[in-house]
Chains A and B, each alone.
Chain A
Amino acid sequence: MDFPTIIQILDSAIRLMTPLLLACLAGLYSERAGVFDIGLEGKMLMAAFTAASVAYLTGSAWLGLLAGIGGSLALSMIHGLASITFMGNQLISGVAINFLASGLTVLLGQKIFGLGGRTPSLQGNARFNEITLPFADSIRDVPFIGPVYADLISGHSILVYVAFICVPLTWWVLFRTRFGLRLRAVGENPASVDTAGVSVTRLRYAAVIICGVLCGIAGAYLATGLSAGFVKEMTAGRGFIALAALIFAKWRPWNALFATFLFGLLEAIANRYPNLELGPITIPSMFMNALPYILTVIILAGFVGRAIPPRAGGEPYVKER
């Protein structure tokens, strides 16, 4: 494997990991506050749809992004209503949200665009285009650093940089601010927050809203950054992979970066080597397609060990019955 190939694979990994990273951080906020969320997939899908639709109708990717966030937030609020206000089962609510998004996106898409749930292709400013960082072209020829900067770091859509900035930001918010302290506390022991005179409900809603915003960005990136429009079911299970990454990361922001990078990398490698030829045997493409998943299991079992979720996770906070 030569250097440019490595750069290319890493570049691809960065693109592939970005939606995972955003969704993973989204889940992190929610689950750190004690609200489990298996509806990441649905929220991303809804966001992808609303972002693509509005971007197409207005011609502005930024308005699309806003709409994506709005679409995802709407589902977040349903999740909040079910799991916080009405103390319902968070898993069921998540399952319902996935179904809802899967059906509504196509239904609305067909109603609006008549293309069987697709949106028309986006062009020009309706997409988040790749941005070139300053000096990228002038230092490209510097050995090593040049290609790393020009080809790997530069040349992604703005949302990629947003996602990466979200990692230290999340860390800072969680561990350096009052809000973060309370958020973590409410996921570990809501009674401690309640007896300290802080509203458990408000905190959990805040977390669920942040989760919605991040899923919204993830969905918008899928539809208006990575591709140019919405296709039904286009999230293709990424919400579940993000969930796996979150557990993998043991609910920590920096770990989330590494976990999602690992998933992105494995997929990029499998994309790059679809048919591994090992002497006389050719590994079939089905195996290479499954390889990221197999490796995940192996890494998980071999190196990661037990993951302990936030202690109050999944349970509605009830003080009187």
Chain B
Amino acid sequence: MSSDAIDRKGQPDTAAPAAIELRGISKSFGPVQANRNISLRVPKGTIHGIIGENGAGKSTLMSILYGFYKPDSGEIRVNGTPITITDSQTAIRSGIGMVFQHFKLVQNFTVLENIILGAEDGPLLRPSLAKARGVLKQLAEEYQLNVDPDEMIEELSVGHQQRVEILKALYRQADILILDEPTGVLTPAEADHLFRILEGLRAEGKTIILITHKLREIMEITDNVSVMRRGEMVASVKTAETSPAELAELMVGRKVLLNVDKAPATPGDPILEVRDLKLVDDEGVERLRKISFDIRAGEILGIAGVSGNGQTQLLELLGGYPEKGSKVSGSVRMNGQELDLTGTKSDAATRRARGIGHIPEDRQVEGLIMDFTAWENTAFGYHRAPEYNKGLLMDNAAILADAEEKMEHFDVRPRNAQLAARNFSGGNQQKIVVAREIERDPDLLLIGQPTRGVDIGAIEFIHKRIVELRDAGKAVLLVSVELDEILALSDRIAVMFDGRIMGERIPDQTTTGELGLLMAGVTDTEHTPASAGIPPDHRHVETLPEEPA
């Protein structure tokens, strides 16, 4: 255990009764020791934050508490009594509820069905469903957790899916709620809403454990915070007595630069010229409504907006793979030459050949083949490039050498190119994708959610590389739901709402409040209050709290 941290351990409220107490928990997966002799004390009625780098063992620890994994050794006490949690049923009965990092919902079930799954009242569904419907309505009112009980999960936005997970726990009358990286997939507005709910729960005396990579959130909402590093608990402190910089250092083991350091942009000629771009998807919904913008060399254009307002479609269309069956019109010029938008040359391979790189929004579904090794993934999308090929065959030695170089450059851990992508943590997976796309020096780089679920050490690094690319005179299109990220990186910000660009701002000359209004669909001229960012054609029209001004 690291010596400088040890003296601060166990500081928070030793006197207050503990809802959860873990003693000496260890867990290994085969040869990997995910948790090493971990002790943790969470006082009743508090929000307790847990932070740590990717792969530090946070999810594992919580899964043990929830009975999903069995610990190799150690003791768990809930409300003072030691219990053996053998499966999730025991945990649920002890009043523990958990919202997993990757949701455990059945995609083609309704909300209601997901809620009662495993907590039905009898062998027949009808009474259980009826009861759950009532309880759900009550909970929705009490905690502002509105979801349509008859909607299919796959039709819901991630934010709403998360609400379902929380409702699931509340329906089971959980007193202790564990949330594993709940905000990684949320928009700022949704995250804010979540925090208000959590505060409400705390006020009722419930205990909450919150895992997050965002120090701002830790500072904002938690009472105490614990830091994990490489399977160990290195510190537990009162939030009020610490600072982001200190936490970052405890987490990573070195000083971390929390702000992006960048010189003013020196834009050159336009690289990308988008004119009247329109996309209608296969269900006839207009996803992009005549969008026009330019990006010049040496410039980062940030696109802010609540997810689901056409950013995904824009990235996929520019990347060369719009959704099957969608109709596209308009024009896009790249380096002064027209891009084929609908014909045979509109595929992703041709786009890459034209100098467009793409860091996709979902690294696990698109950006990587999870079963391929890291080195195979470094060639993904560029596997036709001459330097990776020797005649008819691929030049695996060249790809491997290149992969090792990139992994070195981007500090991908573990530094083992033969490992399958799925065996890297999310942050390291992201680094592989970023390395692949940035190192090819594309004229234009499309980026979707570059740092989702990535720890702060890695975020710092990825941001630095994006700025370097810009400084080398390349154009960058950055889509992110994180306003902080957009504000920190962009040279210009365009706000998207309902398939339109609502306006453009310069970072220094705007505020989050102003951007928030634009994201909610309020233009400069009209000032009618609107529901934040939910596009009108979206199925779940309901009142969300407004963006804080």
Contact = CB atoms under 8 A, between A and B. Distances in A.
A185 B109 contact: yes
Interface stretch (A63-71, A92-100, A191-199): A191-199
Contacts of A189: 104-107
- Which of A179, A197, A311, A321 gathers most chain B CB within 10 Å? A197
Interface stretch (B121-129, B254-262, B510-518): B121-129
Contact of A196 (B29, B117, B124): B117
- What are the nearest 10 A-B pairs in CB distance? A196-B118, A197-B89, A197-B88, A178-B120, A192-B104, A195-B104, A188-B106, A191-B104, A198-B118, A185-B106
A177 B125 CA distance: 5
23 contacts: A176-B125, A177-B124, A178-B124, A178-B125, A181-B113, A181-B116, A181-B117, A184-B106, A184-B109, A188-B106, A188-B108, A188-B109, A189-B105, A189-B107, A192-B117, A194-B68, A194-B88, A195-B88, A195-B100, A196-B117, A197-B67, A197-B118, A319-B68
Nearest to B30: A321
Contacts of A193: 117-118
B100 A188 contact: no
B107 A178 contact: no
Interface string B73-117: 000000000000001111110000010100011111100011011
B68 A192 contact: no
B104 A320 contact: no
B497 interface: no
Interface in A181-221: 181-182, 184-185, 188-189, 191-199
A205 to B, nearest CB: 17
Interface residues of B, number: 33
A223 B265 CA distance: 82
A176 B127 CA distance: 10
B69 interface: yes
Contacts of B124: 176-178
B375 interface: no
Interface string B461-493: 000000000000000000000000000000000
B530 interface: no
Contact of B68 (A178, A188, A195): A195
A198 B117 CA distance: 9
A199 B86 CA distance: 12
Contacts of A319: 68-69
Nearest to A199: B87
Contacts of A184: 106, 109
A321 B422 CA distance: 12
Contact of A181 (B30, B90, B120): B120
B410 interface: no
Contact of B122 (A178, A311, A321): A178
Contacts of B122: 178
Contacts of B90: 197
Interface residues of A, number: 25
B424 interface: no
Interface of A: 175-182, 184-185, 188-189, 191-199, 311, 319-321
A180 B125 CA distance: 9
Contacts of A188: 106-109
Nearest to B91: A197
B126 A176 contact: yes
A114 to B, nearest CB: 49
A182 B117 contact: yes
A185 B108 CA distance: 9
Nearest to A175: B125
A170 to B, nearest CB: 15
- Which of A176, A178, A180, A319 gathers most chain B CB within 10 Å? A178
A181 B67 CA distance: 22
Interface of B: 29-30, 66-69, 87-92, 98, 100, 104-109, 113-114, 116-120, 122-126, 128
A177 B124 CA distance: 4
A316 to B, nearest CB: 16
A192 B113 CA distance: 12
Contacts, number: 78
B73 to A, nearest CB: 16
A184 B118 CA distance: 12
Contacts of B92: 196-197
B147 to A, nearest CB: 17
A236 to B, nearest CB: 36
Contacts of B87: 197, 199
B117 A320 contact: no
A192 B109 CA distance: 11
A195 B92 CA distance: 9
A199 to B, nearest CB: 8
Nearest to B108: A188
A320 B91 CA distance: 19
A286 B104 CA distance: 52
Contacts of A179: 123
A148 B105 CA distance: 47
A313 to B, nearest CB: 13
Given A178-B125, A185-B117, 8 more contacts: A178-B128, A181-B116, A182-B117, A188-B107, A188-B108, A192-B105, A197-B118, A199-B87
Nearest to A192: B104
B118 A182 contact: yes
B120 to A, nearest CB: 4
Contacts of B89: 197-198
Nearest to B88: A197
A175 B125 CA distance: 8
A32 to B, nearest CB: 12
B66 A181 contact: no
A178 B117 CA distance: 8
- Which of B88, B113, B118 gathers most chain A CB within 10 Å? B118
A162 to B, nearest CB: 22
A195 B68 CA distance: 7
Contacts of A197: 67, 87-92, 118
Nearest to A308: B108
Contacts of B106: 184-185, 188-189, 192
- Which of B88, B92, B122 gathers most chain A CB within 10 Å? B88
Contact of A195 (B66, B113, B128): B66
A3 B159 CA distance: 60
Contacts of A320: 29, 69
Contacts of A194: 68, 88, 104
A177 B113 CA distance: 11
Given A182-B118, A196-B88, A321 B104 contact: no
A42 B59 CA distance: 44
Nearest to B116: A181
Contacts of B29: 320-321
A194 B98 CA distance: 12
Contacts of B30: 321
A73 B79 CA distance: 47
Contacts of B88: 194-197
A28 to B, nearest CB: 16
A142 B383 CA distance: 74
Contacts of B123: 177-179
Contacts of B69: 319-320
B111 to A, nearest CB: 13
A184 B117 CA distance: 11
A196 B100 CA distance: 12
B30 to A, nearest CB: 7
A193 B106 CA distance: 9
A189 B69 CA distance: 17
Contacts of B66: 195
Nearest to B67: A197
Nearest to B122: A178
Nearest to A198: B118
